[in-house]
Amino acid sequence: MFAHTFLNPHYMKIALLGDPSHNITPMWQAFLKNVLLCVVAEPLVLLVALPIALLRNAKSPILAGPRFVLTAYVDFARGVPLILIVLSVYFGFPILDIPFVSSRTWFQYGLFCLVFCYAAYVSEVYRAGVQSVPFSQTLAGRAIGLSEFQLLRHVTIPQALRIVVAPLINDFVSLQKDTAIIGIGAGVIELLKAAQINQGVFFNDSSYAVAGLLFLSICVPLTRVADRLQAKDMRARLAGSQS
């Protein structure tokens, strides 16, 4: 009974490859939307999060204002469920009637939601990375006359990046899954929507299994890569513990 409902090969095949007679989008095609969204969102997240992290780590009193604003943003973006942001953006932005903001595509709104949410998480990962570079490295960089910017560029950030690669991949895995939430607001047939339609047409839940497998096909390899990098980083740090 369980297998018939959730893992029915017949319905799984139809879900994955589509069924022209029922005019159903193949799920592999729908999944391309999710993949595209996360592939475009991730670099943006990595880019946007860096200045947030650096500004929040900066000690200069001149930056107290921006620091406060960014701290509030990070708290907000990490504290509010993504689904809430998604619904607010998709059903709120278009009726605001603001020239640039109100006339964007579903894809652009989706990017905004993901970057808004994940840049906050990733900025915290960066911050932890920068802080885990020992202060002795900062001293060594200053000792050879580097400016504070050069110190970040050549000493702190390269070392912090090594430390954060694995946690960043974990966040990427999570972002990849959350593209499904975008589908709830976007009104386009991405993977989750496609699975729902399928389920509605055939009264069979196997399409959800297909959706799960497709997400897993990206998540699992990435997670393995993250684990491997983490183990490698740990070994390197143990080997280099003298310096």
CB of residue 168 vs other proteins: minimum separation in angstroms? 17
Is the CB of 13 or the CB of 154 nearer to other proteins? 154
136: contact with other proteins by CB under 8 A: yes
Stretch of 17-25, 38-46, 55-63, 154-162 lying at the interface with other proteins (CB under 8 A): 154-162
Is the CB of 146 or the CB of 219 nearer to other proteins? 146
147: contact with other proteins by CB under 8 A: yes
| Matching residue, tokens 């907000």 | 76
CA distances from 77 to 35, 71, 103, 116, 119 (A): 23, 10, 23, 7, 9
187: left (phi over 0), alpha (psi -120 to 50) or beta: left
> Do the beta carbons of residue 180 and residue 212 sit within 8 Å?
no
Closest Cα partner for 107 from 26, 182, 25? 182
How many Cβ atoms from other residues are within 10 Å of residue 236's Cβ?
A: 11
Between CA 22 and CA 29, with CA 25 as vertex, the angle to 5 degrees is: 155
196: contact with other proteins by CB under 8 A: no
Backbone angles phi, psi at 190, to 5 degrees: -95, -170
Length of the chain: 243
61: contact with other proteins by CB under 8 A: no
Stretch of 23-31, 80-88, 141-149, 183-191 lying at the interface with other proteins (CB under 8 A): 141-149
Stretch of 9-17, 58-66, 111-119, 152-160 lying at the interface with other proteins (CB under 8 A): 152-160
Instruction: Please identify which residue in 140, 201, 225, 229 interacts with other proteins, judged by CB under 8 A.
Output: 140
Is the CB of 100 or the CB of 135 nearer to other proteins? 135
The residues that touch other proteins, with contacts defined as CB under 8 A, are 136-137, 139-147, 150, 154-155, 158-159, 162, 236, 239-240, 242-243
